[in-house]
Amino acid sequence: MKRSEDVLYRIQTHYPRMSKSQKKLADYILKHYDKAVYLTASKLGAVVHVSESTVVRFAMELEYDGYPVMQRALEDLVKNKLTAVQRMEVSQSRVNQDRLLSSVLEMDMENIKNTLENVNEESFREAVKAILGARRVYILGIRSCSVLSSFLSFYMNLISQNVREIQTNSVSETFEQMMTINEEDVMISISFPRYSRRTVRSAEFAKSRGAKVIAITDGELSPLFPIADCCLLAKSDMVSFVDSLVAPLSLINALILAVSEAKSKEIAESLRTLEEIWREYDVYEGNSAEDTVYGTYNTTK
């Protein structure tokens, strides 16, 4: 993030010419940005003991087009800075503890809605085209994003034999697994706040070797954004110390389906073969030759 885009930096540079009330707001945000980020203009004003209109003018003073724009900029800044403990503290003011289940589900629904409203269809088609034309597809997601990486890799391996999920806790082994990556390959890098440094460095390495980099991340302030040839953006959020990755998973679902549609004939043949293997080796409950509907019916008669 550029310093000029940093909300805290803007506050510091504008501070000398602020009014007394605006300085009270500035002092509070600089000290408690982790709490201020999720307060509405009226609630922030109440906490600092200034009017809501003062909060709005404060945002304008910082050259934002209104308080909601400043709030989003502050959210982008702090979501990668908050520690696990701070996340828990913030969540107490965001989630209704008396209706925790519905609160969390509503937040996830809002994340999917936001992702849908801001989806870039051109970038999505570009990503699908790159995957289909690649010699090899490397996939990397670390820590909580490893769930997304594994899910994508599992289904992509059913579609194609040229998919490699990078799985290791060692920095050196990460690059060893990417040693032969080149301009014929695609690197899918998945990272959401708090961004993994190893994922970013791996994307940079792939880019330096000429590979096409597809980033699955949350926005233009992500460190993956300037590296990637195309970005698939999905809204992520935090629920306490837990990362909410429902919207990114939905986006990945769409990516898998788009690739599979383009290779439907090959996939159909592969799936028929796999079904025979799964049945022969009892991979799924009720899927063996003895567990067919007719077999069960005859046994119970």
For residue range 170-193, what is the model confidence (pLDDT) as tens digits?
788 899 999 999 999 999 999 998
Per-residue pLDDT of the chain (301 residues; tens, 9 = 90+): 444 457 888 898 899 999 999 999 999 998 888 788 878 899 999 999 999 999 999 999 999 999 988 988 887 766 666 665 666 565 555 556 677 788 788 888 988 998 998 889 999 999 999 999 999 999 999 988 999 999 999 999 998 889 999 987 778 889 999 999 999 999 999 999 888 999 999 999 999 999 999 999 988 878 999 999 999 999 887 655 567 899 999 999 999 999 999 888 888 888 888 888 888 888 888 766 555 544 444 444 4
Q: Are residues 274 and 254 in the same domain?
A: no
Kindly state whether residues 209 and 249 are assigned to the same domain.
Answer: yes
The pLDDT assigned to 84 comes to: 58
Per-residue pLDDT at 2: 44
Residue 99 domain-assigned (yes or no): no
Pair 132, 233 in one domain? yes
Backbone CA torsion sign across 116, 261, 123, 176: positive
The DSSP element (H or E) to which 85 belongs, if any, is helix 84-94
Are residue 144 and residue 225 in the same domain, yes or no?
Answer: yes
Q: The whole model's pTM is what?
A: 0.72
Copy the structure tokens of residue 120.
């870039």
Give the pLDDT of residue 92. 57
Q: What pLDDT score does 32 carry?
A: 85
In a domain, 18, yes or no: yes
One domain for residues 166 and 242: yes
Residue 277 corresponds to which amino acid? I
Q: Is residue 13 part of a domain?
A: yes
**Domain membership flag for residue 33:** yes
**Residue 211 structural domain:** 115-262
Query: Does residue 180 share a domain with residue 123?
Result: yes
255 and 274 co-located in one domain: no
Q: Does 39 fall in a domain?
A: yes
* ω into 194 cis (within 30 of 0): yes
Same domain, 145 and 235: yes
Same domain, yes or no: 292 and 258: no
Residue 56 inside a domain? The answer is: yes
**Domains contained in the chain, number:** 3
Please choose, from the candidates 171, 233, 163, the residue with its C-alpha nearest in 3D space to the C-alpha of residue 202: 171
The per-residue pLDDT for 154 is 94
The whole-angstrom separation of Cα 156 and Cα 12 is 48
Alpha carbon 229 to its chain centroid, in Å, reads 17
In 3D space, the residue among 232, 229, 158, 157 whose CA is nearest the CA of residue 190 turns out to be 232
Residues 119 and 250 placed together within one structural domain of the fold = yes
